[in-house]
Structure 1
């Protein structure tokens, strides 16, 4: 189970980074 938690955290971080990059490109602050 710990490994799954780590993977989930990494996925969340990746998703947040993607959203941040997309919002920066579009110019819409989140």
Structure 2
């Protein structure tokens, strides 16, 4: 189902966005000590 594929792509993008956000936070925390 095309809709299903689209939703999965959105889920993946959201997951990657959240992952990137946490990675950024971790990097910032490491930089500030």
Question: What TM-score results when the alignment is normalised by the length of structure 1?
Answer: 0.82
Aligned pairs, number: 27
Q: CA RMSD in A?
A: 0.4
Q: Determine which structure has greater relative contact order: mean sequence separation of CA pairs < 8 Å that are 6+ residues apart, divided by chain length.
A: 1
Q: What residue ranges of structure 2 are gaps of 5+ in the alignment? A: 1-6
Higher helix share: 2
Larger Cα-atom Rg: 2
Question: What TM-score results when the alignment is normalised by the length of structure 2?
Answer: 0.76
